[in-house]
């Protein structure tokens, strides 16, 4: 198939594009900078530019949509322009091009409204109650995508949960960086169970969703993806830090105090952005959403996902941490 992958300059997008190339597909990637993926045709552009999005869709048979604004803070209209309106433009471009399969890469946060998720399936995306502009706009985008499912245009939404691996700068890189300078803390007692997904397994699941998009029990539905190996948040943070050569975090902040601090930091960052201060363009050290994610349990029942997509994770978490450690041993600039 001729497959368009958006957001291939990111960890998961690049891994997915490479997996599709390895499967023999003809892959075009679309993102704001070169993807760095061998064997693809790179098209550079922005998801908020409908004309560029439509041009990227020309001649494709299928679309895998990973591009998104994923920052912890920022004006909601910026998230909406990329995550919601970008999805609308991509759906329109895909249908105009005659594509028959479309995979919307979403997030479990679209159905997380604050309480713990223990052995849950993929609940309905809730744009009204999801926490934060990223989750709200991703929820709206998922609903728009699934509503486009129709005969001849099969849509599947997948929600990879906390993707990580070698070269990851969004999660592992931040944990390691903060742990090295003693700024990484554990929210609460660190015993909340959390699912994560090793990047190769997440990419394989996305490819499986594309393969099975036209199956009767797959299209029009959302599926959470994880490695199905819940660990405590304290253990996960410790192993990520140690894999990067940093000490495991030992400082703890009570959950309520972390949430209050997150709200305060968000207010300060809004002021910094409004004043044009350079720090306002950087990621804040803590937000209320981050405090909530690190302080509550969220792990998912994978039986339906694995049955329908005919997929199962292959990389044990401990093996994943060994691979991260090997990557740092080779690439760490210190």
In the block, tokens 């090997």 appear at 326
| Cβ(241)–Cβ(175) below 8 Å | yes
Per-residue burial over 193-231, b = 16 or more CB atoms within 10 Å of its CB, e = otherwise: bbbbbbbbbbbbbbbbbbbbbeeeebbbbbbbbbbbbbb
Q: How far apart are CA 274 and CA 258, in angstroms?
A: 24
**Contact in structure between 54 and 89 (CB atoms under 8 Å):** yes
Whether the CB-CB separation of 300 and 226 falls below 8 Å is answered with yes
Q: Are 36 and 5 in contact (CB under 8 A)?
A: no
Q: Are strands 41-44 and 62-65 parallel, antiparallel or unpaired?
A: unpaired
- Catalytic, 198? Answer no
d(CA 220, CA 323): 35
Q: Which of 79, 134, 198, 328 is catalytic?
A: 134
Q: Around Cβ 242, how many Cβ atoms within 10 Å?
A: 16
Is the CB of residue 298 less than 8 Å from the CB of residue 194?
Answer: yes
- Which tokens belong to 30? 């679309």
* Cβ count within 10 A of residue 26: 15
- Which positions are catalytic? 134
């Amino acid at each position: 198939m001729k497959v368009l992958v958006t957001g291939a300059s990111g960890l998961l997008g690049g891994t997915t594009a490479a997996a599709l190339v390895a499967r023999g597909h003809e892959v075009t990637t679309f993102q704001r900078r070169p993807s760095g993926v061998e064997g693809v045709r790179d098209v550079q552009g922005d998801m908020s530019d409908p004309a560029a999005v439509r041009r990227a869709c020309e001649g494709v048979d299928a679309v895998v949509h990973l591009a998104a604004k994923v920052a912890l803070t920022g004006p909601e209209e910026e998230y909406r322009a990329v995550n919601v309106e970008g999805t609308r433009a991509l759906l329109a471009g895909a249908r105009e091009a005659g594509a028959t399969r479309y995979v919307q890469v979403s997030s479990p946060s679209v159905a997380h409204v604050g309480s713990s998720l223990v052995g849950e399936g993929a609940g309905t995306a809730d744009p009204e109650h999801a926490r934060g502009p990223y989750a709200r706009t991703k929820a709206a985008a998922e609903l728009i995508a699934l509503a486009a499912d129709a005969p001849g245009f099969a849509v599947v939404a997948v929600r990879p949960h906390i993707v990580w691996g070698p070269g990851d700068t969004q999660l592992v890189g931040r944990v390691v960086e903060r742990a090295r300078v003693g700024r990484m803390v554990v929210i609460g007692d660190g015993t909340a169970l959390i699912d994560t997904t090793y990047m190769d397994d997440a990419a394989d699941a996305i490819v499986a969703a594309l393969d099975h998009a036209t199956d009767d029990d797959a299209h029009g539905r959302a599926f959470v993806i994880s490695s199905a190996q819940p660990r405590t948040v304290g253990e996960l943070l410790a192993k990520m830090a140690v894999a990067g050569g940093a000490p495991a975090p030992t400082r703890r902040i009570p959950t309520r105090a972390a949430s209050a601090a997150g709200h305060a930091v968000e207010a300060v960052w809004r002021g910094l952005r409004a004043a044009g201060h350079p720090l306002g363009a950087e990621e804040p050290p803590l937000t209320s959403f981050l405090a909530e994610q690190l302080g509550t349990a969220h792990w998912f029942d994978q039986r339906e996902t694995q049955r329908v997509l005919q997929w199962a994770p292959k990389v044990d978490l401990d093996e994943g941490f060994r691979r991260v450690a090997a990557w740092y041993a080779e690439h760490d600039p210190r």
